[in-house]
Amino acid sequence: MLTQDQLKLAVAKKALEFVPEDAVIGVGTGSTVNLFIEELATIKGRIKGAVSSSEASTARLKAHHIPVYDLNEVEKLAVYIDGADEINHYLHMIKGGGAALTREKIVAGAADEFICIADENKYVTMLGAFPLPIEVIPMARSYVARELVKLGGHPELRQGVTTDNGNVIVDVHGLKIMKPVELEEIINNIAGVVTCGLFARRRADVLLLGKQSGVEVIR
Ligand code: 5RP
C-alpha cells in the first residue's frame, strides 16, 4: 500500500515527461509541486527556466539554481504544472489550499497546457467537500462573507494568513458545487474578490493521477 506522499512522488516524477526541452515552464505551489521541483532540478540543464506561482516556489526553484522569470518577460509558456485540492472528471479543480490561487490562476491562464499532478485522494465526483478558498481584499472581507452566505456557503476567515499579494483568504465550507463554471463566475463578480479557487473556466488539460496501481494519464 503506497502512502499519499509516495503517490505524490510518483506523479511528480511522471510530470517530467511533460516538460518540453529548452522552454520556460510554469510551476505551481504545494507539497506535490515541491516534489516536482526536486525532480525538475535533476534535468534543469534541459529547460530555460520557470515562471513561479508563489514566493515559496520561487525560493525553492532558486535554491536549485533554476532561473525564475517574471511572467511579463516571457512570451510563451508551453506548460503549467501544478497540484490541486480537488479535481473532478471534467478536470475542473478546487485550488488554493496553499493560498497561492491568484498567481496560480494567472500563470495557468498564460500557459498553453495545464498539467495537474494529484494523488487519488483528490479525485472526486462533486467539488466542494474541500472548503473553497477565495482571495479577498481585506476591507471587503465582511461584505464578501455575507454574499457567500447568500450562495449557501459557510465562509471562514483563514487565520494568520496573508497572501503574496497582501490579501486575506476566506474558505467557504458546505458548498455542493454542481455547476463549477457558473459558480466561479458568480463569485469572481462579487466586488472585493480577487480570485475564487475554482479552476473551471481554465480547467486542467491533463491529469496525472497517482493511484495504487500506477499513474493514470487522464485527458
Ligand atoms: C496551492 C494549491 C495547491 O496546488 C493545492 O493546495 C495542492 O497542494 P498539495 O500538493 O500540497 O496537496 O492550490 O494554493
**At residue 148, does pLDDT exceed 90?**
yes
State yes or no: pLDDT of 75 exceeds 90: no
What pLDDT was estimated at residue 50? 97
Q: For the chain, where are the alpha helices, taking DSSP H only?
A: 4-14, 31-41, 55-63, 101-110, 141-150, 180-188
Q: Please identify every residue annotated as catalytic.
A: 104
81 lines ligand 1 (CB under 6 A): no
Collapsing DSSP states into helix, strand and coil, what is residue 31?
Answer: helix
Whether residue 99 is predicted with pLDDT greater than 90 in this model: the reply is yes
CB-ligand 1 contact for 98 (6 Å cutoff)? yes
Query: Looking at the predicted structure, is the pLDDT value of residue 120 above 90?
Result: yes
Is the pLDDT score of 124 beyond 90? yes
Taking residues 17-23, what's their average pLDDT?
Answer: 96
The finding on whether 84 has its CB within 6 A of some atom of ligand 1 is yes
Q: Whose CA is closest to atom 7 on ligand 1?
A: 84
Three cell numbers written together for 175: 458548498
Q: How far apart are CA 203 and CA 184, in angstroms?
A: 11
Cα separation, 60 vs 160, in Å, equals 23
- Per-residue pLDDT, 48: 95
Average pLDDT value over all residues in the chain? 97
Candidate of 85, 106, 158, 165 to mutate for ligand 1, largest count of ligand atoms within 8 Å of Cβ: 85
Percentage with pLDDT > 90 across the chain? 99
Predicted confidence band of residue 176 (pLDDT cuts 50, 70, 90):
confident
- Using an 8 Å Cβ cutoff, are 210 and 8 in contact? yes
pLDDT at 114: 98
Grid coordinates 480570485 are at which residue? 195
**Nearest atom in ligand 1 to 28's CA:** 4
Mutational test site, ligand 1, from 6, 11, 32, max ligand atoms within 8 Å of CB: 32
Atom of ligand 1 nearest to the CA of 29: 1
Distance CA 108, CA 91 (A): 14
Residue 90 scores a pLDDT above 90: yes
